[in-house]
């Protein structure tokens, strides 16, 4: 199975900050990686697929990138509505696996 | 609008059974792989199962032999039959649609979730 190691598990940031969340795959997954945002008691919302393709309606302050088996989600100029938990997901092969999540809260 | 609506969750005793349903609307249900993803209280997301448009199935190891995923395209409905339930199956179960008919299995639409509690 492909393990997805996400870091950090939590971070505190201020409005306007730039934050970076990282996911490392245990083996090559090409660019078969998605990012989701989840707010409390809500279903996850897709942000990015194919490592860097922004989904329709997602603000351009969100971006994704890949370097080998390392993937990053960057949020520039953090907004109040961005405080949430973020998950990566590999879909290169079954079983589909998620990272452990990164909770972003207000400093 | 594309919508997914789960039902069937509830309280069940260890060793018991439960069937979850997910009714879909707003898209050609039969063309898309459909998924179940769960989230234990205060924990992260865990993919559980997929049924493809061609009725192939995939499961996470922890539910193999206990859970069965199926679909009824005539009713636009996805099912998850869960048996021999354990306390560690306690979670919110989400139904999720594969984003594209080809390519990889990431999820563009999620239901609101249904809570399953396994406890005596």
Q: So what's the pLDDT on residue B103?
A: 83
Of B44, B59, B106, the CB nearest to A91: B106
Contact yes or no for A96 and B108 at CB 8 A: no
Cis geometry, peptide bond prior to residue A95 (ω within 30 degrees of 0): yes
Which residues, 6+ apart, have CB-to-CB distance to A12 below 8 Å?
A104, A105, A106, A107
Q: Are A65 and A75 in contact (CB under 8 A)?
A: no
What mean pLDDT comes out for the span B99-118? 94
For B100, phi then psi, to 5°, come to -130, 155
Contact yes or no for B45 and A36 at CB 8 A: yes
Q: Over 90: is that where the pLDDT of B101 sits? A: no
Per-residue pLDDT tens over the stretch A48-102: 999 999 999 999 999 999 999 999 999 999 999 999 999 999 999 999 999 999 9
What mean pLDDT comes out for the span B44-65? 97
How sure is the predictor about B31, in pLDDT bands with cuts at 50, 70 and 90? very high
Contact yes or no for B106 and A49 at CB 8 A: yes
Per-residue pLDDT tens over the stretch B70-85: 999 999 999 999 999 9
Edge-to-edge strand ranges of the sheet holding A62-67? A4-7, A19-25, A70-75, A62-67
What mean pLDDT comes out for the span B5-28? 98
Q: So what's the pLDDT on residue B102?
A: 79
What mean pLDDT comes out for the span B22-36? 97
What mean pLDDT comes out for the span A21-43? 98
Q: So what's the pLDDT on residue B73?
A: 98
Residues of chain B with C-beta less than 8 angstroms from the C-beta of A98? 44-47
Identify from B48, B105, B115 which residue to disrupt to test chain A contact, counting A C-beta atoms within 10 A and taking the largest count: B105
Rounded Cα distance, B96 and B112, in Å = 10
Q: So what's the pLDDT on residue B68?
A: 98
């Amino acid at each position: 199975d492909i393990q997805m190691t996400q870091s950090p598990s939590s971070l505190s940031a201020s409005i306007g900050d730039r934050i970076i969340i990282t996911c490392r795959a245990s083996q090559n997954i090409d660019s078969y990686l998605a990012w989701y945002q989840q707010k409390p008691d809500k279903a996850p919302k897709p942000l990015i697929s194919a490592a860097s393709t922004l989904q329709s309606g997602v603000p351009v302050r969100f971006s994704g990138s890949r370097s080998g088996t390392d993937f990053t989600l960057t949020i520039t100029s953090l907004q109040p509505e961005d405080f949430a938990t973020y998950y990566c997901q590999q879909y290169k092969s079954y079983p589909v696996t998620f990272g452990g999540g990164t909770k972003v809260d207000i400093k | 609008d594309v919508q997914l609506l789960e039902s069937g969750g509830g309280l069940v005793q260890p060793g018991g059974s439960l069937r979850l349903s997910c009714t879909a609307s707003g898209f050609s249900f039969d063309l898309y792989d459909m998924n179940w993803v769960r989230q234990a209280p205060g924990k992260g997301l865990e993919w559980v199962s997929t049924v493809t448009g061609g009725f192939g199935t995939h499961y996470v190891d922890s539910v193999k032999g206990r859970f069965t995923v199926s679909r009824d395209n005539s009713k636009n409905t996805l099912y998850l039959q869960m048996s021999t339930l354990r306390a560690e199956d306690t979670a919110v179960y989400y139904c999720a649609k594969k984003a594209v008919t080809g390519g990889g299995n990431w999820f563009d639409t999620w239901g609101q979730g249904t809570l399953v509690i396994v406890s005596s």
